[in-house]
Amino acid sequence: MATTPQRCTTCRRTMIKVPGLQYEMCPVCQTVSLFNSKIKGRLAARLGQYANSLANQDDLQNKIYRLPTQRHGKKRAVLCGVTYNNHKKKLVASVYNVKSMQQLLVNKLGFPYASIRILTEEESDRSRIPTKRNIEEALRWLVHGCQSGDSLMFYYSGHGTRVRDQNGDEIDGYDEALCPVDYKQAGMIVDDDINAIIVAPLTYGVTLHSVIDTCFSGTVLDLPFHCKINQEGLYIWEEHQLTNKGTSGGKALCISACADDQNSADTSAFTGNTIGALTFSFIQAMETETKLTYGKLLSYMRKKVYQAQQVVGRIAPFASPKSQEPQLSCSTRFELYSESVTL
């Protein structure tokens, strides 16, 4: 289908208008641009009436912010890639990981461009730099106003770590945490906070998938149940928490790069380009496998990562065989080989 390039009237970023649509939203600043002059007056009047009806309410800004959800349907995502420029542990694959995930969501899974919020150090908009504040605000945007039928995605590529548990809710005594670009100044984002922001608010009929490509990430969403699976594909669901941190009726799943005590890796073993081992294996499974269940997905990812580990000493920077095993955790137990992966 032919497209026509357009520029945002606010930030001047290039947008794409698909023929037949009468508006487009800038993915950077969220400005709505109308391409049919005949409806501008009518829409402006209706938006004015809507704004006036909320003018005396404290949550005016938040309610207007829900417009993208209504306009672009049921799918939205936050994709975060932290490179740590000028740091001795810089990650060269993070931006490439994010772009690869964006292509999967748009081209394969039907996520609109305007419903995907990207945070990397390459963004010109400072609100899209992956600082602690910006990441947390993006996560609040992701779940705000969620309704039955919504499919949400949180993807993270960057450093992760473990810190001492301060509130006694961890069986192993450690909280898992993400490291934003300003973690030395602002601090890390611990699993308790991630759970409170994007898991607890999920209402009935809403599904959240998190794909977390970082070290020590097995239970980074603090979900109640963790899937323990062996090489033959036999599994059991283990209770993970000492306290109940469920959803508000929705379903949350976390696909993570490795167990809480393991390291993850970026590797060039797959294609020659450096990419996260989990990211590549997840994308490949979603693009190539038919009738994909969660059991099949988990087994596929583990097989791909293991294959990359076999070239240790040549091009894959894994510390040792089996040093990275993709994990699955969830807010509920379910039959792994019966439930299809649906995003």
Is 159 assigned a catalytic role? yes
Which position has the token pair 């999920």? 202
Task: Report the alpha-carbon distance of residue 241 to residue 72 in Å, rounded.
Answer: 36
Instruction: State the Cα–Cα distance between residues 313 and 291, nearest whole angstrom.
Output: 36
Cβ contact 189:197 at 8 Å: no
Does the active-site annotation cover 87?
Answer: no
Select which of 8, 159, 179, 226 is catalytic. 159
d(CA 241, CA 154): 22
Q: Torsions phi, psi of 105, nearest 5? A: -65, -40
- Token digits of residue 98: 């994010």
Does residue 300 contact residue 281 with C-beta atoms inside 8 Å?
yes
Catalytic residue among 8, 80, 179, 215: 215
Three-state DSSP at 166 gives: coil
**Cα(first)–Cα(last) distance of the chain, in Å?**
24
CA distances (Å), origin 275, targets 54, 148, 288: 46, 34, 18
Instruction: Give the residue numbers marked as catalytic.
Output: 159, 215
